Structure 1
Amino acid sequence: MRFSVFYIFLFILSSIFFLTFSGCSTLKSSSLGKEAAVSQPLQPAPEELYKEAKPAEFILGPGDIVEIKVYRHDDLTMIAPIDTSGKISYPLVGDIQASGLSIFQLRDKIRDGISEYIKDPQVSVSIKSVQSQKVYVLGEVVKPGVFTINTSMNVLEAISSAGGFTKDAKDKSVFVIRGNRDNPQLIKLDLKDALKKGSIAHNIELQGNDIVFVPATFIADASRFAVYLRNLLWPVLLFEETIVRGKDVTDVMRGEDITGRTVIIERPPE
């Protein structure tokens, strides 16, 4: 079964190749699959994202644990885990859908629920434990893997959690992949400048399910790299089928405009 075309993979390849293959000469072209229908192009990140690094509003999810306090009502103070369905159970209110809310939105829901019994309740909600928000750090880092956001995490903190850059890392062109099938975004960051000058403009706050990809300074072979990147991102992006066309890769590296083309990525061999 094929999903409607997902353009993000080709866009990632295009961006990385343009940045890492300047001066390449001969490239071997191969045909790995059929061209699919035109899809909606991947949207660039908004400019305001780079103006200053601000903490992202943390969104609760299953597995997170919150502490709820009501001023002068110790009987309503409790620690509540969010269950697998995304709900917490709270006195006087019953089940509350907490997943997908910020702590302030959850606070307002609880306050509205108990205001029927308590006049002008003063409710506070804080995060005790985080399990739901994950980020993926892949590519040229010492220990690639999945890491939990502890209420907030920026790109450099995520890379530090992964053991830092390898000697082959291209820290001037780090990519953050975020969004969903309908509105994917790819954000290019210059972390060399951030490390050297202490600039925070490109050291952005990460969101749950962001993918941080650190490319290598030099890539020798386009076709092999396409397969490598496909296998690397497959478990994270959960493509149904994936085929990266060698011709697309080659055309991108030669500077040709491939806007409007899409690819279906074949599932890597078991």
Structure 2
Amino acid sequence: MGATYMVDLSATTDPGDRVAPLGSGTDSTERMVATVGRAVAVLTALAESPRDLGTNELARMTGINPSSVSRVLATLARDELVKRVPESGRYRLGLRLVQLGNAALARVDLREVVRPHLLALTEATGETSTLSIPGEHTTMTVDYVQSPSSVRSVAEVGRPSVAHATATGKVFLAHGGRTPEGALVTYTPATITDRRELARQLTVVRARGWAEALGERENDLHAVAAPVFDSHGGLVAILGLQGPAARFDPAAMRSGADELLRHTVQLSPRVAG
């Protein structure tokens, strides 16, 4: 039998905001929910950062005060959900999350249905194809087929998209996803940080049926993506293609988008709910 993991969330609450005794009802529940929310915010910030982060950086990124962030990190580290790097004192995601993620992915039957389409997309285009699923705030890659080229874009299972700076993220936003609050983070000189320009692009995505990103999250990386809908018009998955800008140029991207649309049309009836 595997080990039992327990997170003592009461250890992460603010002074004066401890979990109340039984009998306090709604107040106790609301405090517990707030505590979980802080933990999720910290984990999300670590997941979206390309580097390890310190307590003060996490506080600035999440809007949570540093003392609360410190308590959240201590609790998460104890249960191996985050790892403290001794040399720098900074934090990164822990290996326990890999176990949890793999357990979740094992239940994603969608991958079995989509896998042949990913193989066909990569064979037709020569580029890396991806399958992402939408969440509440962003999308996450759950499967991919790597380009056979020695110079290629490398996908990662479990990697979240950046909603305003990736093709999959733009598909997500165009079809009901929540736009990030606050300033839009700049990743490269090409990142869209103007909300009006982002809104204009999302209108284009809805009209033509696919999204593109040209070096907006990573320099020299181009990508296209298209939605897969269920029978009610809900977004259930996103197919993507990505490759080096030197090879996956605008003409190749348009051709790739046509391939994506052909496969999403085939997939939608199979995932209809």
TM-score range with shorter-chain normalisation?
Answer: under 0.3
The structure with the larger Rg is 1
By relative contact order (CA 8 Å, sep 6+), the higher-ranking structure is 1
